[in-house]
Structure 1
């Protein structure tokens, strides 16, 4: 795909799937502004992405983060064509888990990390498209856990609620802004080997479970690059007739029962 003369912001673009997408977009000719929370990952991304990228270290849960990112990208690269929101995280350490054990802090922090941050980035991007009177695209990161639960190994009910809400939120704004030629879609991955999923992707019992739960390509966790084809498809200007869709990139997760040893 040719992404020449296009610019994208990736919220959560300095590690994992966001970083893989940033590299893929740049390889296809796009300009990218990648936002990351960790200063070290931002420095590494800056070194690897090269001159067609800007890297900005900031917190996705702060309203000023996206406003600043839009200003930087527009001033440096010109018109912004889309947003890929990847940023999110587990609330386990604050108390996310089964409902009978879920803490209010765990609930609130999980929603802030995954849903509030997305609302803020999407809102700022929508306002930019409206102000510029230009079409645009937003791609949001969901999860198969938002609609295909796994009750033994993946029991974080606030996280599942947040990822389910992302689908409803994205479809709702896709419907409302379609007449402005602003498209909004969702990618829903299964278990991938990313920094956030380190606990699960290094657990031998879970890896055994994955061999039947997401059986494609040998039954393995996804690699960050496995989402790139879907990301490029949704973000490309030629996908102008696709909005309000949820695409599972899950190795077969939603089709398979998964067997316990």
Structure 2
């Protein structure tokens, strides 16, 4: 995939750790310039140091309306263009009160949707406006989760999170349909359970092995998604929009439950 992204400039919301940082490394290796956005200032500094001169890092909260807009403007100012948005930011809302419906708090519902869905709407809106303002096409890649389409009640009953990740798919398909005629394409990745993720710590090795049986049965790694992310950011996906691409180790076609 070397040079697949040559001369392309990409903004990654949630790009200073985990899946986003892994993708940023892959994008830079493939020839892209990247602006990565994260909440933690220290992570921003570390990310920029590791990614090198083809990167800029910006501290910001993805749920704030100005964050994505500022990152896109920084991308244009520093690298001369804005070609793609990869929205990775999100996470568990358990600490806010997300959980099974009979215990789910209104605060947990609202904060989890803000964290995972409102943030994504804001970044996508900023990207669409930027592409239209420049009178050009572009690409958006959004992060959902296998839990939004293939739940396992025994281990995962955070219903606001599942709702948000399912809504990412509906939202992405809807805007893909609306803006395809402007050559703006919108696609979605649905990863399986990733090693070290907030919602993965209480799972047994046997469950993970049975539910994600590929490659010996294991947790997913951030690097497992990098190839798909590069593809959707590249011109190789120029005729692809509104698609949901699962990188889940076989989760969605496995019948393992316990």
Confirm or deny a common fold (TM above 0.5). Answer: yes
One of 34, 58, 74 as aligned partner of 1:72: 74
Is 1:226–2:224 an aligned residue pair? yes
Contact residue 152 and residue 257 of structure 2 kept, 8 A: no
Contact residue 153 and residue 206 of structure 1 kept, 8 A: no
Is 1:188–2:190 an aligned residue pair? yes
Structure 1 outlier segments of 4+, above 3 Å: none
Cα root mean square deviation, aligned: 1.0
One of 205, 208, 221 as aligned partner of 1:207: 205
Is 1:243–2:245 an aligned residue pair? no
Q: Which deviations, in whole Å up to 9, do the C-alpha atoms of 1:88-133 show, x marking residues without a partner?
A: 0110011101101100000000000000000000000000000001
Alpha-carbon deviation of 1:207?
A: 2.6
Contact residue 74 and residue 80 of structure 1 kept, 8 A: yes
Question: Unmatched 5+ residue regions in structure 2?
Answer: none
Q: Which residue of 1 aligns with 2:47?
A: 45
Question: Unmatched 5+ residue regions in structure 1?
Answer: none
SS of residue in 2 equivalent to 1:222: coil
- Distance in structure 2 (CA, Å) of the matches to 1:56 and 1:163: 25
Alpha-carbon deviation of 1:206?
A: 3.0
Normalising to structure 2: TM-score of the pair?
0.97
Normalising to structure 1: TM-score of the pair?
0.96
SS of residue in 1 equivalent to 2:188: strand
- Distance in structure 2 (CA, Å) of the matches to 1:107 and 1:69: 28
> What is the 5 A alignment of 1:26-175?
26-175=28-177
Alpha-carbon deviation of 1:199?
A: 5.0
